[in-house]
Amino acid sequence: MNFNEGKPIYLQIADRIMDDVISGAYAPGARIESVREFAGRVGVNANTVMRTYTWLQERGIIFNKRGIGYFIADDAPEQANTLLRSYFFEREAPYFLERLARFGITPAELSSRYAAFLG
């Protein structure tokens, strides 16, 4: 995993897991890797992954079955989508919209290009 300096690593890992939940790579009820397994795979300290798992658990994306491991919550896709959309509109969209205005891109042009992107 490649990390950027603008956001804490544990939140970047959480974003990745939530993206995987939304895309179906992690299905509701599925067991996810242990903290140590995940840390080894992505090349970070186990404490960082533990912080990620705690953050996700506090938001209802995953849950812990003591002695068994962490699992994806039944409503995780909806919860993850809500969290990521909120982050996008609060943090990313303002910059994006400012750039659209600066470049003189009209709503019609944006809509046309977005429709073409969607296929």
pLDDT digits (tens, 9 = 90+) for 2-52: 888 888 999 999 999 999 999 999 999 999 999 999 999 999 999 999 999
What confidence score (pLDDT) does residue 2 get? 80
Instruction: List CB contacts of 76: < 8 A, sequence separation 6 or more.
Output: 21, 26, 28, 60, 61, 62
Mean pLDDT of the chain: 95
What confidence score (pLDDT) does residue 16 get? 95
Counting residues of the chain whose pLDDT is more than 90, the rounded percentage is: 93
pTM of the model: 0.85
Per-residue pLDDT at 95 exceeds 90: yes
Report residue 12 as tokens.
Answer: 């970047």
51-54-58-59 Cα dihedral, nearest 10 degrees: 70
What confidence score (pLDDT) does residue 5 get? 86
